[in-house]
């Protein structure tokens, strides 16, 4: 019997990570301690549960802190453990356990994100087949591992197979789906002399491909390397308060030690000196500061999640607040990623009769263009006779017999001959006009005579233009378009949604270069994409945002945030929400800092009673916590979207 999802999660998924297991144990012990305390159980029972929570969630950050201390540095992990222990020594064991749970959970989430990215990078290699058919000089064929292929050798790619190497077509014709590499929404016709990429999907024709790159140098292998490099070299982003953790940790420890030892030198009794130092450590500990930072960000994450945006961590939410420019992929992001029939230019007959003939010929086709034609005919309420015969012609199109007529649909280069059939010259200008407008043009011939040109295009997502306009208002910088599609198709979509700055014909490494160029100009770039080819740029950008429904596994795991409902309007809304969360964090830090300053000053220059110090410390924690939780309300999302709507 196959293992259940829970068993799989525990054995090979996130549950297999030690950080996750210890965080779950700490959370469970904390919850059990809280229930026991509220239920009026004996104090020794809930104290034991809380202390067990300390051990489960605190041993790893504590050990990491001691190792850092051995290297003569102090980090916030050790400081949090010391503060939690200090809280327990004065009876505030609940607060210390809560702090331990927060830190253990944060470490677990970071470990899960790292594992998922690594798993997806490894899975990306599966796009390229492990074996390919190599053609020997004598004409014989043999099945070999793609890793063994050498530059100059020839491989045979049959219909429906994935291409095993980057190379050049030397014989045959076919259409190749290379969306994983370039992001193009439609299969591309390949003929001798054209370039093909490993991992792309061959159509109905047979190709002979001469290998031009070794396995380690293919585009798909370079995508893997770029994602791994970007993940490894991208500077470790920290929450605002963590950026000053070293200085604060040193100052707090030094002040605590001084406050304990100096009074002893002046003759102050040991108990009084210890009590003052302990009070100082409690009121100066950054518990309130940590909680001042986390609740607004976590509340914003929860609110965004309810409205179709998965933000993977508090750090990501803070990154979103700093975005100054947004870059979009085209296919599958600004567009739906599937073609539709945009226009029919008719020479002979009526639009309805031409469309019915085209649908009859294409009904047996699996090509996306064929499906788009059939769908358009159905939406128009047309009926058509069944084709008497059907043939897919690699690199050309389809050929069928309908009502005794020979019907052909295919590329203009194949069906419009220079010498030609009647109408070829006129339709050549029509084809050029449609292609200049960013459409894919195909010709319909009946009994050898061109009768119509069909213009197909990728449909723009509803609300794309509105989302672009909103982003201009939120970031105060116009979005840009980065796409592997051709300049004409990219320009058509950009003009439709209101984007002026377009980078077209980009391979994955070119998208990374474009993102870095924007960053060198001072922009903090959020890239919105969905495909494997977007993954390196998603990893290199300040923040990566993936479209959830059609997004590749690698894009979803590499991205920092995911638009789960594929609604582009959520992008400006989540940026506005993140900015509001950042404002609340700043306000909370001011509140927490004021409380700490007043209590520390009182303890240093006066006589601060320990109960009052604890009350002040806990009071500040409650205030900033409740202030941050305001973002949990549904009104927070509406307010975040409202400025962009105006």
Active site residues: 329
**Pairwise CA distance, residues 135 & 116, whole Å:** 38
Burial class (CB in 10 A: 0-12, 13-18, 19+), 349: middle
Q: Whose CA is closest to 315, among 523, 106, 114?
A: 106
Q: Is 429 exposed, middle or buried (0-12, 13-18, 19+ CB in 10 A)?
A: exposed
Contact between 325 and 524 (Cβ < 8 Å): yes
Q: Whose CA is closest to 398, among 156, 175, 169, 157?
A: 175
CB of 546 closer than 8 Å to CB of 261: no
3-class SS string, 564-580: CCCCCCHHHHHHHHHHH
Rounded Cα distance between 600 and 282, Å, is: 10
Cβ-contact 599, 616 below 8 angstroms: yes
Distance CA 223, CA 531 (A): 11
Name the region of 183 (left: φ>0; alpha: ψ -120 to 50; beta: rest).
left
List C-alpha distances in Å: 552 to 179, 362, 530, 549, 593.
Answer: 11, 29, 6, 9, 44
> Would strands 325-328 and 480-482 be described as parallel, antiparallel, or unpaired?
parallel
Structural contact between residues 529 and 331, judged by C-beta atoms closer than 8 angstroms: no
Between CA 265 and CA 593 the distance in angstroms is: 31
| 3-state DSSP assignment of residue 394 | coil
Distance CA(617)–CA(580), nearest Å, equals 25
Task: Give the span between the Cα atoms of 497 and 470, in whole angstroms.
Answer: 11
Tokens of 407: 């019907």
157, 209 Cβ separation under 8 angstroms: yes
Q: Are 72 and 274 in contact (CB under 8 A)?
A: no
Query: Distance between terminal CA atoms of the chain?
Result: 57
Burial class (CB within 10 angstroms; exposed 0-12, middle 13-18, buried 19+) of 14: middle
CA–CA distance, 295 with 307 (Å, rounded to integer): 18
Q: What is the chain's Cα-based Rg? A: 32
Residues constituting the chain: 646
What are the residues whose beta carbons fall under 8 Å from the beta carbon of 230, sequence distance 6 or more?
512, 536, 539, 540
**Angle CA 66–68–73, to nearest 5:** 120
Q: 311 phi and psi, to 5 degrees?
A: -100, 125
Q: Are 394 and 366 in contact (CB under 8 A)?
A: no
């Amino acid at each position: 019997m196959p293992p259940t999802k829970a068993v799989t999660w525990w054995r090979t998924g996130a549950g297999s990570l030690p950080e996750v297991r210890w965080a779950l144990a700490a959370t469970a012990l904390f919850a059990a301690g809280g229930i026991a305390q509220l239920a009026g159980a004996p104090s020794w029972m809930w104290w034991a549960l809380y202390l067990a929570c300390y051990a489960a969630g605190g041993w790893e950050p504590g050990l990491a802190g001691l190792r850092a201390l051995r290297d003569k540095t102090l980090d916030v992990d050790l400081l949090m453990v010391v503060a939690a222990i200090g809280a327990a020594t004065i009876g505030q064991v609940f607060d210390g356990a809560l702090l331990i749970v927060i830190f253990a959970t944060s470490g677990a989430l970071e470990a899960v994100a790292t594992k998922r990215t690594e798993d997806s990078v490894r899975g990306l290699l599966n796009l390229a087949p492990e074996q390919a058919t190599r053609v020997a000089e004598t004409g014989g064929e043999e099945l070999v591992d793609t890793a063994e292929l050498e530059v100059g050798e020839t491989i045979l790619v049959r219909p429906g197979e994935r291409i095993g190497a980057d190379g050049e077509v030397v014989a045959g014709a076919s259409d190749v789906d290379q969306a994983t590499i370039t992001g193009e929404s439609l299969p591309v016709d390949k003929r001798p002399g054209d370039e093909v990429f490993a991992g792309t999907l061959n159509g109905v024709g047979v190709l002979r491909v001469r290998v031009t790159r070794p396995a380690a140098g293919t585009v798909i292998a370079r995508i893997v390397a770029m994602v791994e490099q970007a993940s490894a070299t991208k500077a470790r982003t920290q929450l605002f308060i963590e950026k000053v953790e070293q200085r604060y940790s040193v100052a707090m420890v030094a002040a605590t030690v001084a406050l304990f030892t100096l009074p002893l030198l002046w003759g102050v009794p040991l108990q009084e000196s210890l009590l003052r130092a302990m009070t100082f450590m409690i009121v100066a500990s950054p518990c309130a500061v940590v909680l001042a930072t986390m609740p607004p960000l976590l509340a914003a994450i929860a609110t965004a999640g309810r409205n179709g945006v998965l933000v993977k961590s508090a750090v990501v939410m803070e990154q979103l607040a700093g975005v100054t420019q947004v870059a979009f992929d085209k296919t599958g992001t600004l567009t739906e990623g599937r073609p539709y029939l945009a226009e029919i230019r008719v020479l002979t007959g009526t639009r309805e009769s031409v469309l019915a003939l085209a649908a009859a010929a294409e009904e047996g086709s699996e090509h996306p263009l064929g499906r788009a034609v059939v769908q358009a005919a159905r939406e128009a309420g047309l009926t058509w006779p069944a084709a008497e015969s059907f043939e897919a012609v690699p690199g050309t199109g389809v050929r069928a017999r309908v009502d005794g007529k020979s019907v052909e649909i295919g590329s203009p280069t194949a069906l419009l001959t220079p010498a030609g059939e009647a109408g070829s010259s006129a339709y050549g200008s029509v084809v050029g006009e449609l292609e200049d407008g960013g459409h894919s043009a195909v010709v319909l011939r009946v009994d050898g005579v061109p009768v119509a040109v069909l213009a197909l295009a990728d449909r723009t997502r509803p609300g794309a233009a509105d989302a672009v306009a909103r982003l201009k208002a939120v970031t105060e910088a116009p979005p840009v378009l980065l796409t592997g599609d051709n300049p004409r198709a990219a320009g058509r979509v950009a003009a439709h949604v209101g984007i002026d700055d377009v980078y077209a014909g980009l391979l994955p490494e070119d998208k990374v270069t474009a993102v870095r160029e924007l960053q060198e100009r001072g922009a903090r770039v959020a890239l919105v994409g969905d495909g494997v080819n977007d993954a390196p740029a998603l990893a290199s950008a300040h923040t990566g945002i993936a479209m959830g429904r059609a997004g590749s596994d690698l894009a979803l795991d590499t991205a920092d945030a995911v638009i789960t409902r594929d609604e582009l309007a959520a992008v400006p809304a989540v940026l506005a929400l993140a900015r509001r969360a950042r404002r609340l964090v700043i306000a909370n830090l001011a509140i927490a800092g004021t409380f700490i300053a007043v209590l520390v000053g009182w303890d240093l220059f006066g006589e601060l009673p320990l109960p009052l110090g604890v009350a002040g410390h806990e009071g500040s924690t409650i205030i900033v916590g409740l202030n941050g939780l305001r973002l949990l309300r549904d009104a927070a999302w509406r307010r975040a979207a409202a400025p962009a709507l105006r």
